[in-house]
Amino acid sequence: MEEEEETRNQKKQTLIEEVAEKLINGDLEAKIQAARDIRKLVRKSSVKTRSKFAAAGVIQPLVSMLLSPNLHAREASLLALLNLAVRNDRNKIRIVTSGAIPPLVELLKFQNSSLRELATAAILTLSAAAPNKPMIAASGAAPLLVQILTSGSVQGRVDAVTALHNLSTGSENPNLILNVTAVSPLINLLKECKKYSKLAEKTAALLGILSKTEEGRLAISSSEGGILTLVETVEDGSLVSTEHAVGALLILCQSCRNKYRELILKEGAIPGLLRLTVEGTTEAQEKARTLLDLLRDSPPENRLTSSVLERIVYDIAKRVDGADKAAETAKRLLQDMVHRSMELSMSRIQLKAASSTPADIPSK
């Protein structure tokens, strides 16, 4: 049994070496066929096979093929590199250090949609390895990925969002990677996708980053359905996407309460925020409560009447704890909201008193 296993391994090693030899020393047609063979051999193989191909020296010649004027050579090498990189961080790093990023960035500019989207998938795969992120971020890939958000196929747009998310999570200043032109296509993606999907989580995270700049906030509020889409994500999203969406809404409201408070209220945010104070992550609950405090400071004509508020809270409590405990839960939620509102008001009074100087106090 051990002998059979050893024989199989030896045959596989011989095959790997033969394919590597064709790739390194063959003519163009032999190189293209070798690249295709590598893709086939590693598609359903173990990580060990990917490592063996890398050890046989195939990565550098495959990267060199990305610069070939022959489009078939570029496509074959792209597919081979993609398959070598999957589930193998060491290969991902080797591919980048071998110089793959500049030719991949050039391919992102191609009119050939097939090659452009293969390059997008490659950038996505390579950006999953933390050591690669700074080099990819500095390469100029991000603005081209943003363009694909608008013009790419469905899969291309999904890959572009994921790649941008990978790059933004590895950057000390993610706003250097994302620019305001990303807002509109990201809003459109979030409108179209299921709010509890992984795509929605990454899209909402990117919008959360963009909301931290004045230009980003203006773009979100001026995009058709921008704030409504965030409100709908708070209502229907997963734990992760709701946390990002409420965070973006909170940043908007904190940046200019008079402007954004009314826009958020107009889109019917209150029920989703109240639900989030019960059902969200710890961070989402805190953000939702803070945003509710800001929204309750709206002018009288925009405030909810107490009866409407009580009904909303009761409906949420009924869904969470059932009809038997709904009244008790609703009462506790309303008490918490009132208590937090009173604390906030007292803090403001104390802050105002502390900031007054004798010159501010009117004489009798």
Mean pLDDT by 10 residues, the chain (364 residues): 75 91 95 95 86 95 96 96 94 97 94 89 96 93 92 90 90 77 94 93 96 94 94 94 96 90 90 88 93 72 52 64 70 61 50 50 36
C-alpha 177/C-alpha 273 separation (Å) is 30
pLDDT value, residue 111: 78
What per-residue confidence (pLDDT) applies to 178?
84
Q: Which residues contact 70 (CB under 8 A, 6 or more apart)?
A: 28, 32
What span, in angstroms and rounded, lies between the C-alpha atoms of 121 and 81? 11
Q: Which of 75, 80, 67 is nearest to 23 (CA)?
A: 80
Question: Rounded to whole angstroms, how far apart are CA atoms 208 and 247?
Answer: 7
At how many degrees (to 10) do helices 323-355 and 270-279 cross?
A: 100
Estimate to the nearest angstrom the gap between the alpha carbon of 69 and the chain centroid: 34
Which pLDDT score, from 0 to 100, does residue 206 have?
A: 96
For 102, the token pair is 């500049």
pTM above 0.85, yes or no: no
- Whole-angstrom Cα distance, residue 91 to residue 293? 50
**What letters, b where the CB count within 10 A reaches 16 and e where it falls short, cover 10-44?**
eeeeeebeebbebbeeeeeeebbebbbbbbebbee
CA geometry: angle at 159 spanning 156 and 161, to 5°? 110
The backbone torsions φ and ψ at residue 129, rounded to the nearest 5 degrees and listed phi first, read -90, 120
d(CA 308, CA 175): 40
- In the three-class reduction of DSSP (H, G, I as helix; E, B as strand; rest coil), residue 250 is classed as helix
pLDDT (0 to 100) of residue 302: 47
DSSP H/E element including 32: helix 28-43
Pull the structure tokens for residue 359. 């010159």
Q: What is the pLDDT of residue 300?
A: 45
Buried b (16+ CB within 10 A) or exposed e, 349-358: eeeeeeeeee
What's the token pair of residue 38? 């590598």
CB-side neighbour CA atoms (13 Å) of 258: 0
